[in-house]
């Protein structure tokens, strides 16, 4: 390693950071526009043509705003926490390939690196919630840790199934393994689980329990303002972008596609996933924390293990790919039916309890 290497790498990293920042600004604008349209509003309109300069105005406002330091007990932890959340959200981009050549540094253990780095931001959330010395922050932190640790498991298990099919951990080779068909074809169940669990990892609606504004006023971020708050905000959007990109790379075939250049395909696929995430936010209400945990531990994790088992059989006996598609669809259908039946049973038992209580009161 020479100093020119270091200089070149620094330049690449700088370009990546710049790109992520621009994309994040774009995403905030897109989200407000999409949410607005779904709710039959216009979204931001005042700043620039159809409000395109709104993110810049927002960013300026956040930079210029007073950064209030509340009388917290633990100043150092409180101040460092936003960085510990923000830095993993950025360094995870080192190994995500936009196209075959457009990647900062392709790693042999690419996907494992991403998993390892993304886990680390939980530490930052714990630091924020503890350093704030605020009961809402502490509640939000406890919720965040429970949720993020639990949903990390289905994400890892699904990634494992994809790695089994592609036989590599290298992000670039994973995309190349999908040259004949994208993995959503052999792993439709994996795709669904990854989207659901990824959404929970992001802490976005319907899984925004840790920050739930209407219950615990922003959770771990309640005491933050100005630039420190916007760090969390930026990290959230960078992570949304990352989930979109990872879904694209793992399931939708990355940059590969007919006619159009690779980068365009990558952007189209990623933006479609992100659009879906924004759309869900406008459509679904928030889960309750116990429903969320039950869903993860009693449904998602068992079915992820089942998925790995079935994928193992499929690979070991060399079954044709359409049989894996059918098996996966059968698992989706089976899982859905199980959930419906349990829900109906629970509803029936609640109705029964209510009926008994009414009769007791009447008697």
Partner 1 sequence: MTTVLVFFFILGGMALLGSVGTVASRNVVHAALSLVLALLAVAGLFILLLAEFLAIVQVLIYGGAITIILLFALMLTRTREGPVRLDNAQRRFALIGAGAAFAVLTVVIMVSDWPAPIDNPVRPGFSRISEVLFQQWAIPFEAASLVLLVALIGAIVISRPEKGERD
Residues that bind partner 1 (CB under 8 A): 1-3, 6, 74, 77, 107-109, 112-113, 115-117, 119-120, 122-123, 126-127, 129-130, 138, 141-142, 145, 149, 169
CB of 104 to partner 1, least distance (A): 15
For partner 1, give the closer residue by CB, 30 or 122: 122
For partner 1, give the closer residue by CB, 126 or 192: 126
For partner 1, give the closer residue by CB, 123 or 271: 123
For partner 1, give the closer residue by CB, 2 or 214: 2
Torsion, Cα 164 192 108 120, to 10 degrees, reads: -130
Report how far residue 207's alpha carbon sits from residue 131's, in angstroms, rounded to the nearest whole number.
24
Contact assessment for residue 226 and residue 67, using Cβ atoms and an 8 Å cutoff: yes
Report how far residue 166's alpha carbon sits from residue 152's, in angstroms, rounded to the nearest whole number.
21
CB of 359 to partner 1, least distance (A): 24
For partner 1, give the closer residue by CB, 54 or 211: 211
CB of 101 to partner 1, least distance (A): 22
Report how far residue 105's alpha carbon sits from residue 91's, in angstroms, rounded to the nearest whole number.
11
DSSP annotation of 204: -
Determine which helix (DSSP H) or strand (DSSP E) holds 290, and give its type and residue range. Answer: helix 289-294
Report how far residue 28's alpha carbon sits from residue 25's, in angstroms, rounded to the nearest whole number.
5
Which DSSP string do the residues of 137-175 spell out, in sequence order? Answer: HHHHHHHHHHHHHHHHHHHHHHHHHHHHHHT---HHHHH
CA angle 155, 196, 55 (to 5 degrees): 105
Please count the other Cβ atoms lying within 10 Å of the Cβ belonging to residue 284: 12
CB of 88 to partner 1, least distance (A): 10
CB of 116 to partner 1, least distance (A): 4
Report how far residue 292's alpha carbon sits from residue 301's, in angstroms, rounded to the nearest whole number.
12
Determine which helix (DSSP H) or strand (DSSP E) holds 31, and give its type and residue range. Answer: helix 3-38
CB of 307 to partner 1, least distance (A): 20
- Diameter of the chain measured on Cα atoms: 88
CB of 39 to partner 1, least distance (A): 37
For partner 1, give the closer residue by CB, 10 or 283: 10
129: left (phi over 0), alpha (psi -120 to 50) or beta: alpha
For partner 1, give the closer residue by CB, 27 or 138: 138
- Spell out a b/e string for 191-202, using b for 16 or more CB atoms within 10 Å of the CB, else e: bbbbbbbbbbbb
| 3-state secondary structure at position 213 | helix
CB of 145 to partner 1, least distance (A): 5
For partner 1, give the closer residue by CB, 58 or 201: 201
For partner 1, give the closer residue by CB, 115 or 324: 115
CB of 131 to partner 1, least distance (A): 9
Crossing angle of helices 188-202 and 135-166, rounded to 10°: 160
């Amino acid at each position: 390693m020479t100093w020119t290497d270091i200089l070149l790498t620094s330049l690449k990293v700088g370009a990546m950071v710049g790109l992520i920042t621009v994309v994040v600004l774009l995403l905030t604008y897109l989200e407000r526009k999409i949410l607005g349209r779904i709710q039959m509003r216009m979204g931001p309109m005042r700043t620039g043509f159809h409000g395109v300069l709104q993110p810049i105005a927002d960013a300026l406002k956040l930079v210029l705003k007073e950064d209030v330091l509340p009388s917290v007990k633990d100043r150092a932890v409180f101040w460092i926490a936003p960085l510990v959340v923000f830095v993993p959200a950025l360094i995870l981009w080192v190994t995500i390939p936009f196209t075959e050549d457009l990647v900062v540094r392709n790693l042999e253990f690419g996907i494992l690196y991403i998993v390892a780095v993304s886990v680390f931001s939980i530490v930052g959330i714990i630091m924020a919630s503890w350093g704030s010395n605020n009961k809402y922050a502490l509640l939000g932190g406890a919720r965040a840790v429970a949720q993020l640790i639990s949903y990390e498991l289905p994400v890892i298990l699904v990634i494992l199934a994809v790695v089994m099919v592609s036989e590599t951990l290298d992000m670039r080779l994973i995309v190349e393994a999908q040259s004949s068909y994208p993995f959503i074809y052999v792993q439709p169940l994996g795709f669904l689980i990854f989207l659901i669990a990824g959404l929970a990892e992001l802490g976005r609606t319907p899984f925004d329990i840790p920050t739930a504004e209407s219950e615990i006023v922003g959770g771990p971020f309640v005491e933050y303002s100005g630039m420190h708050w916007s760090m969390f905000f930026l990290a959230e959007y960078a992570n949304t972008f990352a989930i979109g990109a990872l879904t694209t790379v793992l399931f939708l075939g990355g940059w590969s596609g007919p006619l159009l250049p690779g980068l365009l395909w990558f952007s189209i696929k990623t933006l479609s996933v992100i659009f879906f995430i924004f759309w869900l936010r406008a459509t679904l209400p928030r889960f309750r924390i116990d429903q969320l945990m039950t869903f993860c531990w009693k449904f998602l994790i068992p079915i992820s293990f089942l998925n790995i088992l079935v994928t193992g059989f499929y690979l070991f006996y060399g079954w044709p790919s359409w049989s894996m598609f059918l098996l996966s669809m059968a698992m989706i259908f089976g899982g859905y039916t199980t959930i419906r039946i349990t829900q109906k049973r629970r509803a029936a038992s609640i109705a029964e309890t209510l009926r008994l209580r009414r009769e007791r009161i009447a008697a």
